């Protein structure tokens, strides 16, 4: 009997230790981004690394354009994407681990106006800039807002300054980061219109048992204060 128990433990352990996942993400600071060494870093990346170590899963992480990232996670087995806003439109496409972080969606405008709108309803007839594949696009278009979806979000600050869009809708923190990166000081967030939870979203053919283990380990990290420690490294407040 002792030998049988040992063999069962050996094969279960070998299966757990042999599990590998390919993770894909985008440039979306401070949650996920390329570090100075070219490797992925950021709040969500640090959480993901700690989570995978806790469940003994080997991972590779690649930073790619967002549309490619979400397509790979949707189509390729043993592939997950982060940080993914969990929305009604996306719910059935993935298996979900999280939440990892929270994201405020904000409307940005050129500085210097005498008055600004303060609610999303007030920009209903405006041309709002976002980027292809972002959950903000689905959110606004499903509510009949006019969205100009660029190939990537980096171009939107200059589109706003040049009058090609009336407002820019993006994550509040990533918007501020991009403005700093591009040395633009005459654009500012004027109001937050939604707050989402962002997850690790895995291919539907992933092991349900693995997804359950990942969620349990993440909940344990949260209880032990490990997530708060990671948040504090980036001065991230949620």
Expressed as residue numbers, the domain containing 21 is 14-102+198-233
Same domain as 164, residue 51: no
pLDDT at residue 14, as a whole number: 36
105-157, pLDDT tens digit by residue? 999 999 999 999 999 999 999 999 999 999 999 999 999 999 999 999 999 99
Same domain as 94, residue 19: yes
Same domain as 207, residue 123: no
- Specify the pTM: 0.82
Same domain as 96, residue 152: no
User: What CA–CA distance (Å, rounded) separates 59 from 49?
Assistant: 8
Same domain as 111, residue 143: yes
Residue 74, domain member (yes or no): yes
3-state secondary structure 43-78: HHHHHHHHHHHHCCCEEEEEECCHHHHHHHHHHCCC
Q: What is the mean pLDDT of residues 154-182?
A: 96
Same domain as 183, residue 151: yes
User: What CA–CA distance (Å, rounded) separates 69 from 26?
Assistant: 7
Structural domain count, the chain: 2
Three-class secondary structure of residue 202 per DSSP = strand
Residue 1, domain member (yes or no): no
pLDDT at residue 1, as a whole number: 45
For residue 12, pLDDT over 70 is answered with no
Same domain as 151, residue 44: no
Q: What is the mean pLDDT of residues 211-230?
A: 97
35-93, pLDDT tens digit by residue? 999 999 999 999 999 999 999 999 999 999 999 999 999 999 999 999 999 998 899 99
Same domain as 175, residue 225: no
Alpha-carbon distances, residue 127 vs 45, 88, 176, 222 (angstroms): 33, 24, 20, 40
Same domain as 53, residue 36: yes
User: What CA–CA distance (Å, rounded) separates 202 from 15?
Assistant: 19
For residue 160, pLDDT over 90 is answered with yes
Residue 117 sits in a domain whose CATH number is 3.40.190.10
pLDDT at residue 235, as a whole number: 79
Tell me the torsion sign for CA atoms 131, 160, 33, 16. Answer: negative
Same domain as 131, residue 50: no
User: What CA–CA distance (Å, rounded) separates 25 from 83?
Assistant: 7
Let me know: does 33 contact 41? Beta carbons within 8 Å.
yes
Same domain as 75, residue 29: yes
Q: What is the mean pLDDT of residues 177-205?
A: 96
For residue 11, pLDDT over 90 is answered with no
Residue 88, domain member (yes or no): yes
């Amino acid at each position: 009997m002792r030998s049988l128990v040992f063999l069962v433990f050996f094969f279960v352990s070998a299966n757990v230790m042999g599990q590998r996942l390919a993770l894909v993400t985008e440039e979306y600071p401070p949650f996920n981004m390329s570090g100075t060494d070219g490797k992925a870093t950021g709040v969500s990346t640090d959480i993901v690394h700690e989570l995978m170590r806790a469940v003994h899963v080997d991972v590779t992480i690649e930073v790619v354009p967002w549309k490619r990232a979400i397509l790979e996670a949707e189509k390729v087995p043993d592939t997950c994407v982060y940080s993914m806003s969990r929305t009604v439109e996306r719910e059935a496409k993935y298996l979900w681990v999280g939440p990892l972080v929270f994201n405020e969606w904000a409307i940005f405008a050129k500085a210097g106006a005498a008055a600004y709108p303060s609610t999303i309803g007030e920009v209903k007839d405006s041309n709002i800039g976002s980027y292809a594949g972002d959950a903000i696009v689905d959110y606004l278009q499903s509510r009949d807002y006019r969205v100009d979806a660029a190939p990537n979000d980096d171009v939107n600050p200059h589109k706003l300054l040049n009058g090609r869009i009336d407002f820019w809708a993006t994550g509040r923190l990533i918007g501020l980061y991009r403005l700093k990166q591009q040395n633009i000081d005459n654009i500012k967030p004027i109001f937050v219109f939604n707050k989402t939870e962002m997850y690790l979203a895995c291919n539907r053919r992933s092991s349900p048992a693995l997804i359950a283990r990942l969620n349990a380990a993440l909940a344990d990290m949260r209880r032990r204060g490990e997530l708060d420690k990671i948040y504090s490294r980036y001065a991230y407040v949620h």
